[in-house]
Each structure stands twice: as C-alpha cells, then as structure tokens.
Chains A and B, each alone.
Chain A
Amino acid sequence: MATVLFYILSAIALTATLLCVTRRNPVHAIIYLVHAFFALALLFYVLGAPLVAAWEVIIYAGAIMVLFMFIIMMLELAPSQELQGLVWSRLLPVVLLSLTVLGATFAIIAFDPGGVDGIPVYFATPRDFGYTLFKEYALAVEVVSFQLLFAAVGGYYVGRTDKKKGGRK
C-alpha cells in the first residue's frame, strides 16, 4: 500500500514540478509548486516523518508560497516572454549538469549495494523528535533562531521606504 502510494505521490510531485518550472506565468508556477509540495508532504508522511510533513504544508505550502504569491501580486507581474526566446547556449550547462547529477545518482546506486535495500518502516514520534531537537541540537536551534531574526531585520531594512525622498517612486 505504502509502496504504491510512494510511486503515485512521486509521480505527482515530479509532474507538478516540471509544470512549475515551465510555466510562463509565475502565478501558475506557484500553484503547481504548491501541488508538488503537498505531494512531497505526503511522501514525508509515508516515510515516517509526520511532523516534517505537517510543517511542509504549514511553512512551505502555507507560508512561503503564499509569500511568493503575495509578492507576485503586489508587483503586478505580467506573464514573462522569456521562454519564447530560449538561448540554447544557456541551456547547455543545464542539460549537462542534469545528466551528470542523474548519472551520479545512478552511479551511487550501482556502486552501493546497500542502496537497493528497502527503506524499513519507521515512524518518528513527535516526542522523539522534540527530545532530540532540543537536547542534542539545542545550540543549532538557537543559531537558526538568530538567523531568522537577522533575516527579519534584513528584510525590513531592504524594504524600507526613504521618507526624505517622499516614499517609493
């Protein structure tokens, strides 16, 4: 059951991602990305990480993507014309790199016998999760929280309006 679910969800996530990166309209792209993230959240759940799945929905699909959407709407972006005039020289490293990454993945799988082993059924309870997070990674939590604070300050600074010049132009 879970195996089937994994393949279905993977297919949805990959398809949605592919659609996302090829859309001309950023709004559409974001919508597809939200789809992909929902599928990803379920994948996380299937892999035994319910807490991460919940946060994927709440933080990624909920907060971050809504922020993207909000900015796109605020800037009133028109659908971009960039995909019409694609320059192949620019896509060359993309193609090559994609092939290399995939090749590296297959190479790792081929050369690592353990890679073909199945993933055991595993379920991390929120209790285990919280225990490890706040006990073993307490310092990292603090650091990350500082990072968030700095990001908030930085975002405010970059987005401020110059009052002397009479606001945004």
Chain B
Amino acid sequence: MNETLLFLIPLLPLVCGVLNGMFGMRAPRLFAETLALFGVATATIITLLFWSYADGEGSRAVLYTWATSGDLQVDIAILFDRLSAPMTLMVTGVSTLIHLYAVGYMAKEKDYARFFTLLNLFVAAMLLIVLADNLLLTFVGWEGVGFCSYGLIGYWYGKGENADAGRKAFLVTRVGDVFFGIAMLWLFALTGTLSISEINQQAAGFAPAVATGLTLLLLLGASGKSAQLPLMTWLADAMAGPTPVSALIHAATMVTAGVYLLCRLFPLVSLSPVGMAAIALVGVLTAFYAATCALAQREIKRVLAYSTMSQVGYMFIAVGAGSVAGAMFHLLTHAFFKALLFMAAGCVIHLCHEENDIFKMGGVARRASFVFSLFMAGAICLAGVPMTGGFYSKDAILLAVYAQPGLLFKSIWLLGSLNALLTAIYTFRLLYLVFGGEARGEAGHAPGGLMVWPLLPLAFLGLGGGILNLPVLVGGNEWLHHFLGPLAGSVPAVSHANEWMLWGVATVLVAAGWFIARHFYRNVNVPRENVVSRFLLAGWRVDELVERLILVPFRALGRFCWLGIDLTVIDGVLEGLANMSRQAGEKMRLAATGRLPHYVTAFAWGLLALLGWCLWRLVSL
C-alpha cells in the first residue's frame, strides 16, 4: 500500500458529500443516507487499515504542488503521525456513529440531502485540518468547517433566529481566523515555508518575543474555533442547529480544532512561557465562565454547550501546562461522552415532545430507562466520577497544572478544581431536573432504534476511555502518552502522595457537587430567579457587552461613513464635478452657434492674435 492512499480519508467524505449535494434530492432517500454513511464509515475503516503508517515519525504524503510563487510552495500534503492518527480515528469513528444517529433523527426531515451534504463536507474539512501538513491546507479545512457549521447551525433557516445564530457563529469565528491568518503570514515570513513539520523543526531558532507573539496570535485563532474567551459567544447560540450537528460540531470535532492546532504546533508554542501561561489562563477563565453559565441555563442543549466550552477550556489548560498528552486524552474522552450526551439529549427532547426547557421535563428516567442509563453514563463522565474516562482525563490535566511551578499555575489549579465542583453541580442538576421527579410536560414519542443504539458504543468508550491513558498509579501504562512519544509534551513528575491527594480532592469535589445539586434540585420543579441567575442565564451578559462596546460604535461608524462620508463628501465631490462640467458645457454650448459667420469671425480673431503677436515681436526687436 502507498501512503498517497491516505488522501482517501478526507477525500471519501468529500466525494460523498458532493455526490449527495448533486444527486441527493433526486435519488431515493435511502441512497442519500447510505452515501453519507458510506463516506465516513469507509474513512474510519481506512484509518484503521493504515494505522501502522503512524508509527515512528509518521507518514507524509504529497499529492501534488498546489501553488508555487517565488519562495512560496504549497503542497497538498498530509501528515499521518502519532498526533493526527488518534484524532483522525476519533473524528471518523464518532462521525460515523453521529451519522447513524442523524439518519434516525432526520427521518422526517424533507430537506435531508442538504443536511447530509453539509455533514459529510464538514467531516471532510475537519479531516483536512487534522491531517494537513501545510498551514494553508489547514486553513482551507479551518474555513471549510466554519462554512459547514454556518450552514448546519442555520439549517432550519426558516426561523430568523436560527439563521442569525449561524451568521453569528460564522462571524465570530472569522475574527479568530484573521489572527490565525496573520500568524500564518508571519510564520511564512520567518521560515519561508508553510509546512507544519518544517515550521516545527525551525521553531527552536525563534526569538522568545517572536514565539510569544506567534503563540498569542495562534491562541486567538484557536479561541475563535474552540469558543474560548473572548470569542466564545457563538457556541451557546449555535444550539439552534439539529442535535446531530450539535453533537458533531460543537462537541466532538470542530471546537477541538483549536486545541488540536495548538497541539500540532506545540514545538513552537512551548517556546514561549508567556504564551503557555496565556493559553492556560484563557482555558481556566473560559472553563470557569462557562461552568457558572451552565449552572443557570434552562435549555438542556445550552447546558451541554456551556459545559463543552468549559471542557475545551480544560484542554487549553492542559496545553498551557505543557501536557499535549493530557489535552489529547481529554479531547478524546470528551468527544465520546459529549457526543453521547448531546445525542441522548436529542432523544430526551423527542421523549418530552420537542421540549427544550429542563424545568418542563422531569420523570424521564421512569419512561425511558435505557436512554437514562446512556445519559447517566455520559453525565458521570462529565462530572468526573472516579474510574470513568472523564475522571482520568480531567485529573491528568489538573495534575499537569499542579506539577507546574509558580503561583499562576497553582491558582489555575485552584480555579480548575473549583470548576470541577461547578461541573459536578450543573451535571447533577441536569440529571435531577430532567430525569428525576414527576413528569412536568407532555410526553412525546419514543426515539427510534437508530437514535439509541449508536449511543451504546459511545457510552462504553466514554466510561472506559480511561484505559487509553491509564495512570501508572492504578497499574496502567499511560498508553497514549507513550504512543505520542516526543509529541506528548513534558510535565514535571509528581509524587504518588500528591497524586493520591489530587484524586482525593477530585472525588470529594464530585461528591460535594452531587450533594449540593441533590439538596437544591431534588424536589424543585420551578426555577428560582434572582439577579445572579439572570446574569448567568444571559451568559454574563457578554452579548450585551459586545453589542455596546463593538456593535454600537461600529454601527455608528458605518452610519458616519455612509451619511457623513459617502453621501456628503464623496458624492458631493463627484456630483459637484458633474455639475461643474455640465454647467461649463452649457456655457460652451453657446459658443457653438452652428453659424458660419461666427466661426469665420472666431478664425479672424485667432489670426488677429497671431499676427498681432508677430507684429509685436517685430516691433520690439
């Protein structure tokens, strides 16, 4: 086998997506569904078949040279190494399950071809990000997922707010893309290449200030995609899309693209202590912000959206703490359990007659015990109940932060631990409100088999995900850490006693969270509103802040440019010129009488001037 065949991984979903877009509506429904599934499923199988190519330094395949201009040479090149291989497998595998679920979820939808086209294109673009060995190619995928998420969030564009949510996601992530683009240009100016592997090789020679600047730019770029501070506002609104979309884009894949980018360029990022600290700080602040917001949300999917933000914040903390392995570990387990949670939430929404408000749900556990078990599996992973995948991955991150010297990292650890408590509280709050107590709303129809069974493997993966990187402490061998090898990043060692202490703290926090949630929400059926909860419900009123700080001045500027500059200055000058020429023309028109004597007279005046001038010269000589 040839490594060029690795291109099949992103190409298969792409081709299937394009075919679906062209023929999906004309062919039978089964065709579109099968085609979409085929694209991602075969990509998964190929990833597994080619797994050995990731060994050692990994395989690099060049399809052809995309663009050459002066020093710039852009190859269509992919890098299948120990970092991208697990990520590829996760993206394709989870996508396959989500596609299966989507077939069930969208069974009654009329415009299915557009949905599956966008879904497949999204997977293709995401795989491009993961596999590309060229920043420009990464950027293509980066924009591709942006476009597809725009199309998918606004899938039900008939409702204005859905379309607005799509636009918001598109525009906010675009802000981050600008910084990513600047970082890319800067890297090209420094190294003369856009190849990721070459940039990583040359990164060691960068000045610290340069590395810091690049890291901060990349951090801002990653923030846009991964919904971190300050570009996080789009994610909660993005829940307007269909549930499989939320699961695919906003849980498993797209939001992790930023984390993946930082991991990919970790040799560069790790050069800058300031940049690393900034990454960790952004991560922990976002995690805290999102966790507090999740405490007060009333829509089930918004709670999950904020928790996604919060969990991605943990991944940023891991990168900031220098633990790529930790970030990837949490990325993988999170992808499993968060996709599971989203899709289970979709089932719950079906069960509650398309009701989103958790205060109008309740009692679902008794009606659908299987769905409850699945959701429960995801929830305990999210809350970090010991021995679940989420517990191990989150704890690995907190351990890595704790191991870093310095007050800053200790405070980050403290805030991160507080976050773990908040996470437990909102997770159990969700469980109590949705599944416990009596039913408070109408009962809907039970979800079909296709919507339930794909969740089972995810539940096992989420619960057992710890095996991927089981710490030495409990007899594991840290498989992922060793697999990543030199790419794993480095973390100072921590004594076993400290490790036990951290686990103890984590366990106590989860338990505390559970008790707090039980105390407040076990028997509460109606939301209690106060200033704080309203503030948190509105996401710290960040949207209003953005509106006041950016949009209002921007609109004023736009109005000024329109009324003040365009209409008065520019149009005034142009119209003035036009009027002047017209009036001059009117005046000049009078000169052209069309009468021969006038012309001859004018001719005579000219002759007079000429002769007079000659005469004057003659006389004055």
Given contacts A94-B604, A97-B611, 13 further A-B contacts (CB under 8 A): A90-B597, A93-B601, A93-B604, A93-B608, A96-B608, A97-B604, A97-B608, A100-B608, A100-B612, A101-B611, A103-B615, A104-B615, A111-B621
CB neighbours (8 Å) of A93 from chain B are 601, 604-605, 608
Bound CA span A112–B597, Å: 35
Given known contacts A90-B597, A90-B601, A93-B601, is B614 in contact with A104 (CB within 8 Å)?
A: yes
CB neighbours (8 Å) of B601 from chain A are 90, 93
Beta-carbon contact of A104 and B604 below 8 Å? no
User: Which B residues contact A (CB, under 8 angstroms)?
Assistant: 597, 601, 604-605, 607-608, 611-612, 614-615, 618-619, 621
Interface residues of chain B: helix, strand, loop or mixed (majority) = helix
B611: contacting residue among A94, A100, A111, CB under 8 A: A100
Bound CA span A94–B604, Å: 8
Beta-carbon contact of B608 and A104 below 8 Å? no
Bound CA span A94–B600, Å: 11
CB under 8 Å from chain B, chain A span 58-109? 90, 93-94, 96-97, 100-101, 103-104, 107-108
Closest to B608 in A: A97
CB neighbours (8 Å) of B615 from chain A are 100, 103-104, 107
Bound CA span A106–B464, Å: 121
Instruction: Report B395 CB to chain A, min CB distance, Å.
Output: 106
Closest to A106 in B: B615
Beta-carbon contact of B607 and A107 below 8 Å? no
List, sorted by A's number, 9 A–B pairs whose CB atoms are closer than 8 Å.
A93-B601, A97-B608, A97-B611, A100-B612, A104-B611, A104-B615, A104-B618, A107-B619, A111-B621
Instruction: Report A59 CB to chain B, min CB distance, Å.
Output: 26
Give the top 10 A-B pairs by smallest Cβ distance, nearest first.
Answer: A93-B604, A100-B611, A97-B608, A107-B618, A104-B615, A97-B604, A93-B601, A104-B611, A93-B605, A100-B612
Contact string, A93-134, partner B, CB cutoff 8 A, digits 1/0? 110110011011001100100000000000000000000000
Bound CA span A47–B618, Å: 29
Closest to A103 in B: B615
CB neighbours (8 Å) of B608 from chain A are 93, 96-97, 100
Instruction: Report A42 CB to chain B, min CB distance, Å.
Output: 30
Given known contacts A90-B597, A101-B611, A104-B611, is B618 in contact with A111 (CB within 8 Å)?
A: yes
Bound CA span A101–B612, Å: 9
Bound CA span A88–B614, Å: 26
CB neighbours (8 Å) of A100 from chain B are 608, 611-612, 615
CB neighbours (8 Å) of B607 from chain A are 97
Closest to A100 in B: B611
Most buried by B among A93, A94, A104: A93
CB neighbours (8 Å) of A108 from chain B are 618
Closest to B609 in A: A100
Instruction: Report A129 CB to chain B, min CB distance, Å.
Output: 33
Bound CA span A90–B599, Å: 12
Closest to B607 in A: A97
Instruction: Report A83 CB to chain B, min CB distance, Å.
Output: 14
CB neighbours (8 Å) of B618 from chain A are 104, 107-108, 111
Instruction: Report B610 CB to chain A, min CB distance, Å.
Output: 10
CB neighbours (8 Å) of A103 from chain B are 615
Closest to A93 in B: B604
Closest to A111 in B: B618
CB neighbours (8 Å) of B619 from chain A are 107
Bound CA span A67–B597, Å: 24
Instruction: Report A71 CB to chain B, min CB distance, Å.
Output: 18
Closest to A108 in B: B618
CB neighbours (8 Å) of A94 from chain B are 604
CB neighbours (8 Å) of B611 from chain A are 97, 100-101, 104
CB neighbours (8 Å) of A107 from chain B are 615, 618-619
Bound CA span A101–B614, Å: 11
Closest to B615 in A: A104
Closest to A89 in B: B601
Closest to B605 in A: A93
Bound CA span A93–B606, Å: 10
Bound CA span A100–B611, Å: 7
Instruction: Report A111 CB to chain B, min CB distance, Å.
Output: 6
Closest to A101 in B: B611
Bound CA span A107–B597, Å: 29
Bound CA span A111–B616, Å: 13
CB neighbours (8 Å) of B604 from chain A are 93-94, 97
CB neighbours (8 Å) of B621 from chain A are 111
Instruction: Report B620 CB to chain A, min CB distance, Å.
Output: 11
Bound CA span A96–B605, Å: 9
